[in-house]
Structure 1
Amino acid sequence: MNETTMTVVGNLVDAPKLRRTKSGHSVANFRVASTPRRFDREKSAWVDGDTLFVTVTCWRALGENVAQSLRKGQPVVVTGRYYQREYEQEETLRTAYELEALAVGPDLSRGVATFEKVNRPAPAAHVEVDEHGIPVDRSDDYLDVISEQSAMVVDAGPGEVRELASAS
């Protein structure tokens, strides 16, 4: 699959806004302004180019970390997938561009930072085990199996597929 990836170096235009989706996932949004600079030899001065404003979306843990770590005006480096989205507003079709972040960090060419790893508890998972301590096979609960009598097995020797002998 072809994806357009992009890295933007710039400053936060606004503070990250953290919200939750209906399904409970965290999502943070903010904008980054990136202004190229070049030295103009005729003027013997640095000249700013046109500013690019990019809307950034950060999902789940990345979004939570961004909301806790970044503030308006801070220099950042953002890399991710660039998307074009179309929507309708007041009966007019509009287009929005968005950078779905894979990684966000402070621009260390312009300052220093400290890093603190966040340990979030893993979701509690219950695994049913048999009398030998081996996880129970519950694949019948989520696979669309017609009946146990129609089960197949692969003979590892010749690689043949044949019906599994019935237990009756």
Structure 2
Amino acid sequence: MAGETVITIIGNLTADPELRTTSTGASVCGFTIASTPRTWNRQSGQYEDGQPLFLRCSAWRDLANHCASSLAKGMRVIAQGRLQQRSYQAQDGSNRTVYEMQVDEIGPSLRYATAQVSRTSHTRGQAGNTGNGYAGGATGFAPAAPTPGSPEDPWASSGPAFGAPGTQAEEEPEF
């Protein structure tokens, strides 16, 4: 949507994601990402940690389920989403403002780790679900994907590979 502030944050999860279900049946997963800047101190010859930023995040529906099954405390993640501001009155009567991120995309950082990604099964008929979900990570995986080459595999090829010698393909295949 126009006018929304989209941000990307790289950091570590401070705790295991918490999966909950709303009264309408929608899944929501809440977690906090801690991002700490590091700078090189020339005098000491060492890196020094700056002031950490703790950003509360939430993911909804299928993404919530994928986060809960794939992510764990301490994992380094890259998340992109919409920054939202919310104001409320605390129990002591003071007015407070919090910033939260509604996560649109998230995944493990591969800078210091490896990950195995598996495709999730398609679920039709749920609001907001495009059926294009992926889950993965070092700690958990989604249900098994269709066998490559099977009729259920959307990436299966029925003919020669694009650009293979002797083919007439001049344009890239549509996805």
- TM normalised by structure 2 equals 0.68
Which position in structure 1 is the counterpart of 2:111? 109
Residue type matched to 1:26 in 2?
Answer: S
Cα distance in 1 for partners of 2:86, 2:32 equals 16
How much does 1:21 deviate? 1.0
Show structure 1 runs of 4+ deviating over 3 A: none
Deviation string 1:47-89 (CA, Å, 9 cap, x unpaired) is 1111000001101111110000000001100110001101222
Cα distance in 1 for partners of 2:80, 2:88 equals 24
Which position in structure 2 is the counterpart of 1:150? none
Aligned residues: 124
Which position in structure 2 is the counterpart of 1:26? 27
Cα distance in 1 for partners of 2:56, 2:94 equals 21
- TM normalised by structure 1 equals 0.71
Cα distance in 2 for partners of 1:36, 1:18 equals 29
Q: Which has the higher helix share?
A: 1
User: In angstroms, what is the RMSD of aligned CA positions?
Assistant: 1.2
Which position in structure 1 is the counterpart of 2:123? 121
Residue type matched to 1:46 in 2?
Answer: Y
Structure 1: any 5+ residue segments left out of the alignment? 125-168
Which position in structure 1 is the counterpart of 2:99? 97
Percent identity over paired residues: 37
Deviation string 1:25-54 (CA, Å, 9 cap, x unpaired) is 110000010111111111111111110000
Which position in structure 2 is the counterpart of 1:66? 67
